[in-house]
Amino acid sequence: MSGDALALELRGITKRFGPLVANDAIDFELRRGEIHALLGENGAGKSTLMNVLYGLHHPDEGEIRLDGERVRIDSARHAIRLGIGMVHQHFMLVPVMTVAENLVLGTEPHRGPLLDYKQAAARTRELSERYGLAVDPDARVEDLGVGAQQRVEILRALFRDAKVLVLDEPTAVLTAQESQDLFRVLRALKEDGTSVVFISHKLNEVLDVSDRVTVLRRGKKIDTVETEGASERSLARLMVGRDVLLRVEKTDHSPGDALLEVRDLHVSDDRGLPAVRGLSLTVRAGEIVGVAGVDANGQSQLIEAITGLRKVDSGQVVVDGQDVTGYGALAAIRAGVGHIAEDRHERGLVLQFDLAENLSLLEYRKPSMASRGLLSPRRMDERAKKLLGDYDVRGGDTGTPASSLSGGNQQKVVIARELSADPKILIAAQPTRGLDVGAIEFVHRRLVEERDKGRAILLISLELEEVRSLSDRALVIYEGQIVAELPPAASEEEFGVAMTGGGRREAA
Amino acid sequence: MSAEPGAAPVTVAGRLSTYLRGGGIVTPIITVLLAFFVGGLVVLVTGHNPFSTYRAIFDGTGLNWFFPWTSSDDRTIAALNLQQTLIAATPLMLTGLAVAFAFRCGLFNIGGQGQYLVGSFMAVWVGSSFSGMPGLLHIILCMLAACAAGAAWAGIAGLLRATTGANEVISTIMLNWIAVWIGVWLFGLGGPLQSDTDKSVPISNDIAQNTHLPVFWGDPQLQGLHIGLFIALAMLVVFWVLLNRTRTGFEVRAVGFNPEAARSAGISVGRNYVLAMGFCGLFAGLAGSLDVLGWQHHLATNDVQISEVGFLGIAVALLGRNTAVGTMFAALLWGALVTGTSVRNLDPDVFEPALAANLTRIIQGLVVLLVSADILVVYLWQLRRRIRRRQGVAEEQPVQVAA
């Protein structure tokens, strides 16, 4: 394969949604056998551009060339026929079917009227071996983990002879180890001549896996650069348009009294199985305690137990000397627990409520929000307006429904609400999940500021980097227990060992 | 990555809510027009003229009373008809609210009928007992008792939902039947509330004369319009204030949209389920008392079995988009439909009232269907635009693949 031949060329693509220009005359080139990263903040137009390529949107202007030939792509079906494969963030698999069945769906090999399942399974196995995409063809998709489901999606695209493979934020749902596995697969595909478009806003991954990077900002193409010679700093500047603090700047902490004490906590998950098993931890005023760990090791249940959202089997949660175990969410809030929820759509916000209402979710009980016994929308509004200004929430005013804000601004609303209740301790669960660098910077800076004001902050995150850079003390959770306390400066390897159960508990 | 601003929201619910924010009044109107159109086709099939039929139904509702050109003879009849329409709309507003309030809390209250019935039983019992009490006090006591009974009846479903997770749709349907058969037992032959004077008829005692609601328009002897209408209108205001200006309403709406987020904010979801159902029952129970005190004055087992005021409330709330104002208009529409097609009001030369009542049912069914299939109406609306856009694109770029 000649390295410089273009597999795909987008020229002057413009896509408007009403007054909003999502893509403004964007040029994009993809060489054969290249991994090309598409980098940009949320709302920069990455997904729109790829949806244009995949036939889900029609461009208002511009043209698409595949192997030098101009094409018009009407639908996803058409795109697939042209050899374009796409792995969406939300998988499009049939959960009750096996891997092989999912792969051949739509193009089933058959013997008479019956599905030739053996052949389907054989073809699946062949493909998965070729690219090191380990999956069992006979496994049911619903029984697979997220990483494996993603491999099935990739296999399906390859099964349909994709020459151009688009991956929309593929690592958002993966653990660090799974991400590395994915990158290995992508490199194997590249060797084989497949061209890959890798959409992401994580700088280190882009630097790790791609050959070239195209940066979008506010619907415009800013630049295309060779990955060699680019740095996190240079890419972040292209992406945000200004210098960004990638590292959290913080002074040494000076912890005070213990504000949160969790003692020998046992909590079960929804299926009644033990999820947190005898966990103890302490967070003091003015410190950030980070909890690192692989997903599903009891983090969610720990958070829910502390915030009063889940029943505790045994053990205690003590907030500033007050035992709140088993008294429910309101008791925890009253005792001074603030909660940046793991999932802001499920739990952090009422998406249909407007911003004033969302910002009042804790405050509406207070007399200050009422006049003559009735809730006062005017007072709620005034308070909300001030908070929106203080926290620099953009993209809407007090009457805007929360659903129409971007992820970063939604998170700012959650943080504004929780902090405005002046909590003693703040549970920050995955506080930067799905946010872009600008918003991450804001959240991190804010957490450090709140620490300096003397709040106790418990940070629970799947992003090891986040725990390492923010924490004053770092704990590792594994199978519902704290198995290690490491200095935040400890190496990734040390954390990795502990996170996979290789460590011994060292400190209380 | 979150959806890019401006891109069509992906989920059906998301699309629907976006649309509702945009033009909340458009869909109900389209829905009603579509239902009347299909109803017209049915009339056509039966060999009648849909236009004159609808005209006759319209005259039957008494709405022609508002037209200045109506002759004075017609106007007298129109006034009588309009009184009937408003009498019918009065309880519908309240049973509509009973469904709407539950919806706002994320619950589907099918039990308006049962709640309405227990309210009316209570009104009959209290109204026909305690004779010698001052009229106003007696009336208020009847209403309060009816509200309490309805609230308790609905509260059962709320409590079951909150404590055991039992689906309120199932439990309220069951409670409806329990209410109906309690009524049949109460007023049936030998029943505890059966008439003292006529032991051979399954009917209750009449309520005391001084508990009859005053009639402010028309002849009290000819079932004129009673002041219950104003009570219902006042409850629309109560509904709005309760939902939009009280802490309870704030909690109810938060729970209705996202129970998990509400719980995280320290709001008790179960408590709000019970409370919301209680308010629903209060509205429906009050409706029962207004009918009894306003024009029925007694109940027969037959009344209990054929009544469908509570069920109509579902259609009213759906069409009214679970808002106070919407519920009012939808209740007026339904009150008019029911009255306009009743045996007493529809001109039999134009269309047999027996058939017309079925026509009402057809229109009612279509509205419920179309409202429930709201997304279908939205889809058709969007399809129109999509086709137009596609045609536009096709003209610009006729070539699919050009070298």
A478-494 pLDDT tens trace:
999 999 999 998 888 88
How large a percentage of chain A has pLDDT more than 90? 50
> Has residue A319 got a pLDDT over 70?
yes
The pLDDT value recorded for residue B7 is: 38
Inter-chain touch B268–A330, beta carbons under 8 Å: yes
The larger pLDDT score, comparing residue A406 to residue A474, is at A474
**Residue among B3, B258, B393 minimizing CB distance to A58:** B393
Q: Do B2 and A43 lie within an 8 Å CB cutoff?
A: yes
The answer as to whether B394 is a domain residue is no
Whole-angstrom distance, CA of residue A488 vs CA of residue A475: 9
Give the least confident one: A161-170, A341-350, B168-177, B360-369. Answer: B360-369
In this structure, are A116 and A262 located in the same domain? no
Judged by CB atoms closer than 8 Å, whether chains meet at B265 and A307 is answered as no
Chain A environment of B265 (Cβ under 8 Å)? 329, 333, 361-362
Torsion of CA A229, A231, A233, A238, to 10 degrees: 60
Closest chain A C-alpha to B268 CA, distance in angstroms = 8
Of B264, B400, B401, the CB nearest to A339: B264
Searching chain A, which residue's CA lies closest to the CA of residue B243? A375
A106–chain B nearest CA distance, Å: 23
Beta strands in B169-247 (DSSP E): 215-217, 225-226
- The partner residues of A98 in beta bridges, in order of sequence, read A140
Q: Is B76 inside a domain boundary?
A: no
- Establish if B37 belongs to a structural domain: no
Q: pLDDT higher for B381 or A234?
A: A234
pLDDT confidence bin for B399, thresholds 50/70/90: very low
One domain for residues A303 and A213: no
**Amino acid at residue number B331:** A
The number of folded domains in chain B is: 1
A362 vs B250: CB contact, 8 Å cut-off?
A: no
On the question of pLDDT at A326 being above 50, the answer is yes
SS3 A30: strand
Q: What average pLDDT does the segment A273-300 reach?
A: 93
Nearest CA-CA distance, residue B402 and chain A, Å = 6
Average pLDDT over residues B198-211: 92
A64-73, A302-311, B362-371: range with lowest mean pLDDT? B362-371
Please tell me whether residues A17 and A123 are part of one structural domain.
yes
User: How far apart are alpha carbons A413 and A418 in whole angstroms?
Assistant: 9
Quote the domain boundaries for residue B325: 94-333
* Interface contact A348-B264, CB threshold 8 A: yes
Q: In this predicted model, what pLDDT tens digit does every residue of A236-276 receive, in sequence order?
A: 888 888 877 667 778 887 889 999 999 999 999 988 899 99
| Mean pLDDT, range A283-298, rounded to an integer | 92
Asked if residues B356 and B136 have their Cβ atoms less than 8 Å apart, the reply is no
Residues A236 and A278 in one domain: no
| CB-CB under 8 Å, A47 with B265 | no
**Is the per-residue pLDDT at A444 higher than 90?**
yes
The answer to whether residues A90 and A153 touch, using CB atoms and an 8 Å cutoff, is: no
Nearest to B261 among A51, A70, A347 (CB): A347
CATH code: domain of residue A202: 3.40.50.300
| pLDDT at position A92 over 90 | no
Q: Residue A187: its pLDDT value, please? A: 93
Shared domain check, A433 and A319:
yes
Contact between chains at B250 and A364 (C-beta distance less than 8 A): yes
Taking an 8 Å cut-off on Cβ atoms, the answer to whether B258 and A349 are in contact is yes
- Structural domain boundaries, residue A326: 258-336+423-499
Specify if A477 maps to a domain: yes
Determine how β-strand A473-478 pairs with β-strand A288-292: parallel
* Residue located via tokens 């139904």: B57
Q: pLDDT, tens digit, for every residue of B79-102?
A: 999 999 999 999 999 999 999 999
A212 and A292 belong to one structural domain: no
Given B7, B258, B266, which is nearest A333 (Cβ)?
B266
**What is the average per-residue pLDDT within B296-307?**
94
CA–CA separation, A319 and A329 (whole Å): 13
CA distance A361 to chain B (A): 6
Mean of the pLDDT values across residues A442-457?
94
With beta carbons under 8 A apart, name residues in chain B contacting A370. Answer: 247
* Pair (A185, A122) in one structural domain: yes
Q: What is the pLDDT of residue B150?
A: 98
Going by their DSSP bridges, the two strands A473-478 and A481-486 should be labelled as antiparallel
**Percentage of the residues of chain B whose pLDDT score is greater than 90:** 58
pLDDT confidence band for B378 (50 / 70 / 90) = low
Residue B389 has a pLDDT of 59
Q: What is the mean pLDDT of chain A?
A: 88
Nearest to B261 among A168, A328, A348 (CB): A348
Same domain, residue pair A225 and A278? no
Measured in angstroms, the CA of B10 and the nearest CA of chain A are apart by 11
Taking an 8 Å cut-off on Cβ atoms, the answer to whether A70 and B402 are in contact is yes
Which residue carries 């802001």 as its tokens? Answer: A344
Residue of chain B with shortest Cα separation from A418 = B265
Number of domains in chain A: 2
Same-domain check for residues A235 and A322: no
pLDDT score of A407: 82
- pLDDT score of A350: 94
Chain B contacts to A (CB-CB under 8 A): 1-7, 9, 14, 17, 21, 241, 244-247, 249-250, 253-254, 257-258, 260-268, 393, 397, 399-403
Q: Are residues A216 and A318 in the same domain?
A: no
Say how many C-beta atoms besides its own lie within 10 A of residue A392's C-beta. 10
- pLDDT tens-place string over residues A134-163: 888 888 888 887 788 888 988 888 888 889
Q: Which of B4, B246, B403 sits opposite A69 (nearest CB)?
A: B403
Q: Which residue has tokens 């090999």?
A: A109
B chain contacts of residue A172, beta-carbon cutoff 8 Å? 1
**Spatial separation of the C-alpha atoms in residues B246 and B234, rounded to whole Å:** 17
Please answer whether residues A48 and A20 qualify as being in contact, where contact means their C-beta atoms are separated by less than 8 angstroms.
no
Alpha-carbon distance values, B194 to A384, B45, B129, B188, B210 (Å):
60, 46, 13, 6, 21
Contact flag A375-B250 (C-beta cutoff 8 Å): yes
More confident residue, B141 or A401: B141
Which chain B residues are Cβ-neighbours of A407 within 8 angstroms? 2
Query: How many CB pairs lie under 8 A apart between chains A and B?
Result: 122
In this model, does residue B402 exceed pLDDT 50?
Answer: no
Mean pLDDT for the stretch of residues A395-409 = 86
Return the H-helix or E-strand segment holding A352: none
On whether both A115 and A35 belong to a single domain, the answer is yes
Q: Work out the mean pLDDT of chain B and round it to a whole number.
A: 86
Residue B12 confidence class, pLDDT cut points 50, 70, 90: very low
Residues forming a β-bridge with A311 = none
Looking at residue B321, its amino acid is R
Note whether residue B297 is domain-resident. yes
Which of A17, A42, A362 is the closest to B2 by Cβ? A42
b/e sequence B185-194, b meaning 16+ C-beta within 10 Å: ebbbeebebb
Residue A312 has pLDDT above 50, yes or no: yes
Residues of A in contact with B246 (CB under 8 A): 374-375
Contact A22 B1 (CB under 8 A): no
CA distances to A268, A327, A351 from B260, in Å: 18, 17, 12
Contact list in A for residue B244 (CB cut-off 8 A) is 375, 377
Q: What is the DSSP string of A358-399?
A: HHTTTGGGSGGGEETTEE-HHHHHHHHHHHHHHTT--S--TT
Closest by Cα among A104, A108, A507 to A282: A507
What ipTM does this complex have? Answer: 0.82
Q: Is B256 among the domain residues?
A: yes
Radius of gyration of chain A (CA): 25
Does residue B298 form part of some domain? Answer: yes
Q: What is the pLDDT of residues B123-164, one digit of tens each?
A: 999 999 998 889 999 999 999 999 999 999 999 999 999 999
Give A116 to chain B, closest Cα distance, Å: 35
* C-alpha distance from B401 to closest chain A C-alpha (Å): 5
Cβ-nearest to A309 among B2, B9, B264: B264
Whether the pLDDT of residue B209 is over 50: the answer is yes
Residue in A closest to B241 by C-alpha = A374
pTM: 0.79
Nearest Cα of chain B lies from the Cα of A114 at a distance, in angstroms, of 34
Are residues A271 and A208 located together in one domain of the fold? no
**Interchain contact, A22 vs B262, CB within 8 Å:** no
Q: Are B257 and A361 a contacting pair at CB < 8 A?
A: no
Closest partner residue to A47 among B1, B244, B254, by Cβ?
A: B1
In a domain, A143, yes or no: yes
Identify all chain B residues contacting A303, using CB atoms and an 8 Å cutoff.
Answer: none
Strand-strand pairing, A35-39 and A195-200: parallel
Q: Is the pLDDT at A85 greater than 60, yes or no?
A: yes
Question: Is residue B234 a part of any domain in this protein?
Answer: yes
Interface contact flag, A48 B7, Cβ < 8 Å: yes
Q: Find chain B residues with C-beta within 8 A of A353's C-beta.
A: 253-254, 257
How many whole angstroms separate alpha carbon B229 and alpha carbon B266? Answer: 39
In a domain, A380, yes or no: no
Q: What is the pLDDT of residue B379?
A: 65
Contact between B401 and A360 using a beta-carbon 8 Å cutoff: no
Residue A462: pLDDT band with limits 50, 70, 90: confident
Q: Is residue B154 part of a domain?
A: yes
Average pLDDT over residues B234-261: 95
